[in-house]
Amino acid sequence: MKLKGGCVHHDNGLLGSAAFDRAEERKIQLLKQNGFNAVRTSHNPMSESFMSACDRLGMLVIDEAFDQWKIKKNPEDYHLYFNEWSARDIRSLVLRDRNHPSVIMWSIGNEIRERISDNGLKIAEDLKKEILKHDNTRPVTAGVNKYWDKDRKNMLSLEKAFRHLDVAGYNYMWRFYEEDHAKYPERIMYSSESVANEASQNWDKVEKLPYVIGDFIWTAIDYLGESGLGNSIEVDPEENVHQFMGWPWFNGWCGDIDLLGVKKSSILLS
């Protein structure tokens, strides 16, 4: 089965971060109605209501634990607690969710800053070992993105980032599938994040390449945070096209489905 996936955040739009049972169920119903058969949780454990809805309604889940390890992305994020809590938290996640039939993979991180370092290699190994103590029936994965040199001219090898993964999650790197397959023919790949205006290219690769098992759009449903990420306002082509926006922007606006549950026009998404 090919994974027609979407990345999904924990919030429920105007209801905020509370996990109302019906809101979580409706979220999965909307995804099913719009052609999704899989979700990647972004980037933290979801509510029990969400997981139960996935079981009942038949939605496959990549169950993701962390958005950072020891190196911070923001001053007050999980890096402050990683040393003390990461082993206990990954254990708690696996023990809670291992009997959910919807779970198909455990994800140990997303775009981790130290992903190609020796320290990152050791952390990935330790997290995987902790998972396998409690569940050895599912593969381990992570969402991995490019890593540039300090001048942002050359992309550095991601071999260490992928070494301990059973299934390799590629964030925005569909162009490298065939090149990497030639180097690592045993590697199973999928697009752990992709943008809407590259959906056709991503899915063409999924259908063409037997070692690529799916694509997860960023994002399936709009979310609170990263305000204006998906805006379509013209910017200087020399700049990054993904520009965060100030007030009155309050959500990401990059979802296939908006905060009210309405499917957006494909024109808006491209």
Q: Look at residue 234 and tell me whether its pLDDT is greater than 90.
A: no
Identity of residue 38: A
Burial of 261 (0-12, 13-18, 19+ CB in 10 A): middle
Q: Residue 216 maps to which CATH number?
A: 3.20.20.80
Q: Look at residue 267 and tell me whether its pLDDT is greater than 80.
A: no
Domain that holds residue 123: 3-269
- In this predicted structure, which of 138-152, 185-199, 225-239 has the lowest mean pLDDT? 225-239
Q: Look at residue 238 and tell me whether its pLDDT is greater than 60.
A: no
**Interval 44-70: pLDDT, tens:** 999 999 999 999 999 999 999 999 999
**Interval 6-21: pLDDT, tens:** 999 999 999 999 999 9
Structure token pair of residue 1: 């089965």
Q: What count of other Cβ atoms lies within 10 Å of the Cβ of residue 84?
A: 9
| Residue 94, pLDDT score | 98
> How many domains does the chain divide into?
1
Taking the C-alpha atoms of residue 93 and residue 245, their distance in angstroms, rounded to an integer, is 34
| Residue 30, pLDDT score | 97
Taking the C-alpha atoms of residue 103 and residue 100, their distance in angstroms, rounded to an integer, is 6
* Residues designated as active site: 111, 193
Question: What pTM was estimated for this model as a whole?
Answer: 0.94
Q: Annotate 197-224 with DSSP letters as a single string.
A: GGHHHHHHHHHH-TTEEEEEES-SB--B
**pLDDT band for position 244 (cuts 50, 70, 90):** confident
Taking the C-alpha atoms of residue 226 and residue 212, their distance in angstroms, rounded to an integer, is 29
Structure token pair of residue 225: 């945070």
